[in-house]
Structure 1
Amino acid sequence: MQTVTIAGSQVPAIGMGTWHMGDDPLLQAQEIEAIHAGLATGAKVIDTAEMYGSGRSETLVGKAIKGVPRDQLYLISKVLPTNASKARMERSLDASLKRLGVDDVDLYLYHWRGQTPLSETVAELQRLTEAGKTKAWGISNFDVSDLEELWQLPDGPKAAANEDLFNLGSRGVEYSLLGWQADHQLPFIAYSPVGAPDQLNTHLGRNPNVLKVAKRHNVSAYQVLLAWDVSHPQLLAIPQSSNADHVKENVLAGNLQLTADDKQLLDEAYPAPTEKLPLDVL
């Protein structure tokens, strides 16, 4: 299974996202079962955020991981821009830790840029890391210009990862961002790695070339899309599913090795960008 190293921790390259999970009490048992299925299949990373369901996602994750040895988990959460100040961030992180039922998270991300000066946000992220409430910090929805600004700050290069939207149908980050991060040893976390809902319903999962590759390997279209994602070095994909069988499939996609011919077919269906594009966000 492919792996990624983030701030010295080696984790499987496919984890679990939790956006929209925890919103419906009737789905709680099914969603917890899905998280358990992912962990049992070999996943370690669970990605959540205080924004997701206004804390309901973190609460669900907390219930799902109760009793799971802490060293078998790699927990990521995120702070909202409105809470990314010196005055508010620690209270925000403490609330996340309480909902998750843990003493620390492995990675705490600045969810997207807001009005607080970047220098203030980074200084507080670094302080909370040194205080032991998170093992590492990073950013999300940052483009090259944002990262270049970040790297000018004293603690900026201590960022452990950047999380952005990336999938076969949204390849804009390949033009310059992935290369910049590789050059600066900054791992990339891909959210919506099998496509946003509209992409999946309209083309990605039904594309003839994707289906042809899936048939070659006797796997699902989702698994092909995830295998393509994690074929990029130092890339962690965090697909979300509330279905235990789908989660198992997602995690096992980390074992699928695409051939050069497979990748050529996928490139023909969804070509790489030839110019700088605006950063895709959801």
Structure 2
Amino acid sequence: MMREVTFGGTTVSAIGIGTWHMGDRTDRRDAEIAAIQAGIHAGARVVDTAEMYGSGRSENLVGEALTPFKREDLFLISKVLPENASRDRMQTSLEASLKRLRTDYLDLYLYHWRGNVPLAETITELQRLQKTGLIHRWGVSNFDGDDLQELWGLPEGPKVAANEDLYHLGSRGVEYAVLPWQQAHQVPFIAYSPIAQGDTHGHQLASNPVVKEVAAAHQVGIYEILLAWVISHDQVLAIPKTSSVDHMRANIAAGQLTLSAAELTALDRQFPKPTTATPLDIL
């Protein structure tokens, strides 16, 4: 059974498609478009991008990749840079993203990370844009526990639809305060880099013997287990990125994997959950 996440009344499969670093190389463009399209054909609804990714090149790629599909069948996420998150600049930034994405609206628009614009001004403008119909929901990204509490204290803060942070088996800091807070306040969590960017940052997830053992038991690859672990948590959406059609199909299929209590316990022993607060992990 496919795990799901609900954003303000819209339910999507718990594994979507990330696009960070996509669109940067012309020699990979066809493969990247094919991978995105394969993910949607395999059952993904969510595609996550940002104006920052390749200075708009990722949005351009996504816009081209999505042309064969019905817009209402998709859940499209993009993000606004901190320097554009003001009353004077946000709508212009949003409209440029929409043009690159070849769409009239975003299902979710995220404040990419905190900058110098007062948070209250950013949230007020996001709420105004929602009322125009250019975005259907708004949220935040790279917010820690203190940021979320500050946000919740604003008049329109509780209307936040999601927070997107780095989260994978080797980086569990959000489990101490952020994830419990979001679950208690019914704010969905989006996990970026859910497979640790292919194990390139020293976490040794793919080489861990217990991860390998669990993968063998399910007759799947290592990364499917890492994704299944991330979405085993309630109301968590994972957005892995790949330029391979085969890997994309495997990623989406991981949404149907269920890890046993014993397997989850074994993974916990290898990669313990945090017992104290730690700074928010970011890339």
Q: TM-score, normalised by structure 2?
A: 0.98
Partner of 1:44: 45
Q: Measure the CA separation in 1 of the matches of 2:109 and 2:93.
A: 11
Partner of 1:196: 197
Q: Measure the CA separation in 2 of the matches of 1:67 and 1:102.
A: 13
Q: Measure the CA separation in 2 of the matches of 1:169 and 1:127.
A: 38
CA gap of 1:258–1:198, structure 2 versus 1, over 3 A, is closer
Alpha-carbon offset, residue 196 of structure 1: 3.3
Alpha-carbon offset, residue 200 of structure 1: 6.4
Q: Measure the CA separation in 1 of the matches of 2:267 and 2:200.
A: 15
5+ long unaligned stretches in structure 1 = none
Is residue 2:100 matched to residue 1:87? no
SS in structure 1 at match of 2:229 = helix
Q: Which residue type is aligned with residue 27 of structure 1?
A: R
SS in structure 1 at match of 2:86 = coil
Q: Which residue type is aligned with residue 126 of structure 2?
A: L
Is residue 2:131 matched to residue 1:162? no
Alpha-carbon offset, residue 152 of structure 1: 0.9
Residues 195 and 226 of structure 2 are in contact (CA less than 8 Å); yes or no, is this contact kept in structure 1? Answer: yes
5+ long unaligned stretches in structure 2 = none
Residues 77 and 105 of structure 1 are in contact (CA less than 8 Å); yes or no, is this contact kept in structure 2? Answer: yes
Q: Measure the CA separation in 2 of the matches of 1:204 and 1:190.
A: 16
Give the alignment of 1:197-276 within 5 angstroms: 197-199=198-200, 203-276=204-277
Q: Which residue type is aligned with residue 245 of structure 2?
A: A
CA gap of 1:154–1:65, structure 2 versus 1, over 3 A, is same
Structure 1: 4+ residue segments shifted above 6 A: none
Q: TM-score, normalised by structure 1?
A: 0.98
Q: Which residue type is aligned with residue 34 of structure 2?
A: E
CA gap of 1:221–1:198, structure 2 versus 1, over 3 A, is closer
Q: Measure the CA separation in 1 of the matches of 2:200 and 2:36.
A: 24
Give the alignment of 1:170-189 within 5 angstroms: 170-189=171-190
Q: Measure the CA separation in 1 of the matches of 2:160 and 2:9.
A: 12
Alpha-carbon offset, residue 197 of structure 1: 4.4
Q: Measure the CA separation in 2 of the matches of 1:216 and 1:45.
A: 29
Q: Percent identity?
A: 58
SS in structure 2 at match of 1:76 = strand
SS in structure 2 at match of 1:190 = strand
Residues 169 and 199 of structure 1 are in contact (CA less than 8 Å); yes or no, is this contact kept in structure 2? Answer: no
Q: Measure the CA separation in 2 of the matches of 1:61 and 1:21.
A: 9
Q: Which residue type is aligned with residue 72 of structure 1?
A: D
Is residue 2:11 matched to residue 1:10? yes
Residues 16 and 47 of structure 1 are in contact (CA less than 8 Å); yes or no, is this contact kept in structure 2? Answer: yes
Q: Measure the CA separation in 2 of the matches of 1:202 and 1:152.
A: 36
Residues 5 and 236 of structure 2 are in contact (CA less than 8 Å); yes or no, is this contact kept in structure 1? Answer: yes
Spell out, residue by residue over 1:223-242, the C-alpha distance to the aligned partner (whole angstroms, 9 max, x if none): 00000000000000000001
Give the alignment of 1:107-118 within 5 angstroms: 107-118=108-119
Spell out, residue by residue over 1:53-92, the C-alpha distance to the aligned partner (whole angstroms, 9 max, x if none): 0000000000000131011110000000000000000000
Aligned length: 282
Residues 194 and 200 of structure 1 are in contact (CA less than 8 Å); yes or no, is this contact kept in structure 2? Answer: no
